[in-house]
Amino acid sequence: MIGLGAMGSALARALLRDGHRVTVWNRTSARADPLVRDGSVLAPSVAFAVAASPIVIVCVADYTVTHSLLETQEVAPALAGRVLVQLSTGTPQEARDSEVWARERGADYLDGAIQATPSQVGRPDTTIFASGADAAFRRSEPLLTSLAGNVTYLGESVGSASALDLATLSYVFGAALGFFHGARICESEGLRVDAFGSMLADIAPVIGEMIKHQGDVIQAGVYESPQASVSTCAGGVERIVQHAREAQINAEVPTFALGLFRKAMAAGHGAEEAAALIKVLRGGA
């Protein structure tokens, strides 16, 4: 296990709990102390860590850091015959480049994306996306299932995991921005923000159904007979902007959203399903 930040440490603990033999390395070795007390072995170098196990899991800041650690004369030769599992955040192109790099050094490569916070690692409902060579996945699957109960293999197209990860992050961050603006609405009207958060958690399945419907619409390319039209949604966003003006709170988030809806309206999509907004994002009418 290379990288012992909050996530890397959580991964190592989950592996130890499941009885795996774990060798750890981190640039700041003191971070390994609790894991060593729990039974892991602290590697004195990256090369030692790589040589210690048939499967090498990396969880660092990004792919650039990964390569800075592994592209050395001491480390690269030790990768031959091993599976390199990349659990750092990156792009599909970085995953493709990393797969080529690993294969040139005789290693199998699996790209992964953790859909959880460190405190959620190891739970039955935690998800990890994985993509890459089938052989690499099969060798790694027993370890990955210690980290997440829902390991989803997306096939041999190695960029799939990072692509779906970025798509999910786009949804999460977009929703988070909406939540933060909603929190300001609550504050401006004397409502509790924690109650607002709890309410959203309670109705999450219903919201999920709405999102699934929009995905179905986009995949089918059929935007007629909308459940919620672009025009209707634009009206709702206009009220959010109006409230921000009246309450004198920051309006950047709803103003940005309103701009996209107005572009869709101007392009003639007002009577279509809200998912027609993707036509604007594609750059077409």
Q: What is the pLDDT of residues 126-136, one digit of tens each?
A: 999 999 999 99
CA distance 46 to 176: 37
283's CB contacts (< 8 A; 6+ apart) are none
Angle (CA) 279-282-285 rounded to 5° is 45
Instruction: Work out the burial of residue 198: count CB atoms within 10 Å of its CB; fewer than 13 is exposed, 13-18 middle, 19 or more buried.
Output: exposed
CA distance 279 to 20: 49
Q: pLDDT tier at 167 (50, 70, 90 boundaries)?
A: very high
Residue with more model confidence, 167 or 285: 167
Q: What is the pLDDT of residues 226-271, one digit of tens each?
A: 999 999 999 999 999 999 999 999 999 999 999 999 999 999 999 9
Tokens of 104: 């040139």
* Mean pLDDT of the chain, nearest integer: 97
**pLDDT above 60 for 65:** yes
**pLDDT above 80 for 206:** yes
In the prediction, which pLDDT does 272 show? Answer: 98
- Do residues 134 and 110 make contact, with C-beta atoms less than 8 angstroms apart? no
- Do residues 114 and 144 make contact, with C-beta atoms less than 8 angstroms apart? no
* Bridge partners, residue 38, by sequence: none
Q: Can you tell me the mean pLDDT for 47-62?
A: 97
* Bridge partners, residue 171, by sequence: none
**pLDDT above 80 for 108:** yes
In the prediction, which pLDDT does 285 show? Answer: 56
Q: pLDDT tier at 170 (50, 70, 90 boundaries)?
A: very high
CA distance 226 to 49: 56
Quick one: what percent of the chain has pLDDT higher than 70? 99
The CA distances from residue 234 to 188, 230, 241, 281, in Å, are: 23, 6, 11, 16
CA distance 100 to 109: 9
In the prediction, which pLDDT does 3 show? Answer: 98
DSSP string, the chain: -B--SHHHHHHHHHHHHTT---EEB-SSGGGGHHHHHTT-EE-SSHHHHHHH-SEEEE-SS-HHHHHHHHSSTTTGGGGTT-EEEE-S---HHHHHHHHHHHHHTT-EEEEEEEES-GGGTT-TT-EEEEEE-HHHHHHHHHHHHHH-SEEEE--S-TTHHHHHHHHHHHHHHHHHHHHHHHHHHHHHTT--HHHHHHHHHHTHHHHHHHHHHHHHHHHHT---S-SSBHHHHHHHHHHHHHHHHHHT---HHHHHHHHHHHHHHHTT-TTSBGGGHHHHHTT--
Q: Which domains does the chain have, with CATH numbers?
A: 6-156 (3.40.50.720), 164-281 (1.10.1040.10)
Q: pLDDT tier at 284 (50, 70, 90 boundaries)?
A: low
In the prediction, which pLDDT does 185 show? Answer: 98
**pLDDT above 90 for 279:** yes
Q: Which amino acid is at 201?
A: A
The structure's pTM equals 0.94
